[in-house]
Amino acid sequence: MTTWRERVEVARRENRPQHLVTGVPYAAFAGIAADLDDSGHPRCRLRYADALIGNPLIPALHGGVIGGLLESAAIILLLWESEPGVVPVTVNMSFDFLRTGRPVDVLATGRVYKQGRRVANVRVEAWQDDRERPIAAAHGHFLLKREGQDG
Amino acid sequence: MSRAERPAFDRELLEQIVQAIPHVGVLGLKVTEIDVGRALARIDWRDDLVGDPGTGVLHGGVLTTVVDTVSGLAVMSRVTEVMQIATLDLRIDYLRPARPRLPVFAEATCYRLSRSVAFVRARAYQEGGDDVAASLATFMLQSSSLPAWVKTQGTRT
């Protein structure tokens, strides 16, 4: 089993945040991938699939999978920006659903607002065609565990 | 209960609505109980839903989806008109990691229904264990108009 330290080191060396996603079963299940945006900032993409629909009448994406994308984006930002060997563990997430998630891809990225030794606060946004019109926003707290450390 | 206060969706109709949600189907989420203002569901552990392959703990997105779905259902079980609802916000606390290979149960209560907004609390737990997640959510009522064929069906219930 690859350790998170090894994943982070490879991802940074090759400048490919996708290494932080590959091998995460839920990311493959939902269709979440990671790359770098034009300014070299990690960004996640939820690839549209009919299986992601939560309201077939509209149709609209399920809020829960948009939540999964936002939480993934926050974790990838933390892994990318922390020293290798730090593993973020989600304490909580607070989601605001702003607009209907239409049946197309969703992008998500954000910023680490505060990174302490033990805990970090991250804010993330999800959008579809227009970054200025986010479909959801979230903030979350993450415990920063050192790999191999319990509790 | 007067005619106007009667819930618009009965248990059977709500189960049909949930079963028609594609993302609920692919997760294998099953509704186990519905009362007025309260809903219960269960999801079985699956290796493709794991967030950390090192521990086998389910991804937070799975718990968020389960809690969002069961919370919406608690609202739907209480509304007195056929309508669409949408999650406004949802805050989830991950109290402890969900133990691998065991099902997760979720229970939601819609404890206040105003004209426009519903307030819901929910918890996720495992058998013989403590809660794994707690959430508070609000839902917008009448969030979008219904297709004409749904409205026609609604007046018949």
pLDDT tens per residue, range A51-85:
999 999 999 999 999 999 999 999 999 999 998 89
pLDDT of residue A110: 98
How much is the average pLDDT of A131-136? 98
The shortest CB-CB distance from B93 to any of A54, A60, A92 is to A92
Residue of B17, B19, B23, B63 for testing the chain A interface, max A β-carbons within 10 Å = B23
ipTM greater than 0.90: yes
In CATH terms, the fold of domain A4-146 is Thiol Ester Dehydrase; Chain A (3.10.129)
Res. A37: pLDDT tops 60: yes
pLDDT of residue B151: 67
pLDDT tens per residue, range A89-119:
999 999 999 999 999 999 999 999 999 999 9
Chain A CB contacts of B90 below 8 Å: 63, 67, 94-95, 97
Interface touch B54/A62, C-beta < 8 Å: no
pLDDT of residue B128: 87
* Residue A17 near residue A76, CB atoms below 8 Å: yes
pLDDT of residue A150: 54
d(CA B138, CA B150): 24
Q: Which residue has the higher pLDDT, B94 or B148?
A: B94
Nearest CA in chain A to B145: A58
* Residue B76 near residue B85, CB atoms below 8 Å: yes
Which H, E and C letters describe A118-149, residue by residue?
A: CEEEEEEEEECCCCCCCCEEEEEEEEEEECCC
pLDDT of residue A112: 97
pLDDT of residue B129: 79
Lowest mean pLDDT among A46-55, A142-151, B37-46, B136-145: A142-151
Residue-level length of chain A: 151
CA-atom Rg of chain B in angstroms: 16
Chain B CB contacts of A55 below 8 Å: 21, 84
Nearest to A112 by CA among A135, A85, A139, A147: A139
Q: Which two tokens stand for residue B62?
A: 């799975």
Chain B CB contacts of A71 below 8 Å: 59-61, 64
Q: What is the CATH number of domain B3-156?
A: 3.10.129.10
Res. B63: pLDDT tops 50: yes
The DSSP output letter for A52 is: G
The shortest CB-CB distance from B53 to any of A23, A50, A55 is to A23
Chain centroid offset of residue A91 CA: 15
The shortest CB-CB distance from B90 to any of A1, A61, A95 is to A95
Chain B CB contacts of A141 below 8 Å: none
Which distant-in-sequence residues (6+ apart) come within 8 Å of B156 by Cβ? none
Question: What are the domain boundaries of chain A?
Answer: 4-146
Interface touch A24/B52, C-beta < 8 Å: yes
HSE (CB half, 13 Å, CA atoms) of B22?
A: 18
Chain B CB contacts of A91 below 8 Å: 93-94
How much is the average pLDDT of B36-43? 98
Res. A134: pLDDT tops 80: yes
pLDDT tens per residue, range B71-127:
999 999 999 999 999 999 999 999 999 999 999 999 999 999 999 999 999 999 999
Nearest CA in chain B to A21: B51
Nearest CA in chain B to A22: B53
pLDDT of residue B156: 44
Interface touch B65/A67, C-beta < 8 Å: yes
- Band the pLDDT of B4: cuts 50, 70, 90: low
Res. B155: pLDDT tops 80: no
pLDDT of residue B152: 64
pLDDT of residue B148: 78
How much is the average pLDDT of B52-57? 92
pLDDT of residue A1: 61
Chain B CB contacts of A27 below 8 Å: 59
Would strands A32-36 and B117-125 be described as parallel, antiparallel, or unpaired?
unpaired
Res. B37: pLDDT tops 70: yes
A·B CB contacts under 8 A: 134
Question: What are the domain boundaries of chain B?
Answer: 3-156
Res. B7: pLDDT tops 90: yes
pLDDT of residue B147: 77
Which distant-in-sequence residues (6+ apart) come within 8 Å of B51 by Cβ? A24, A25, A26, B57, B58, B59, B60, B61, B62
d(CA B120, CA B72): 8
Q: Which of residues 53-92 of A touch B (CB under 8 A)?
A: 53-58, 60-65, 67-69, 71-72, 90-92
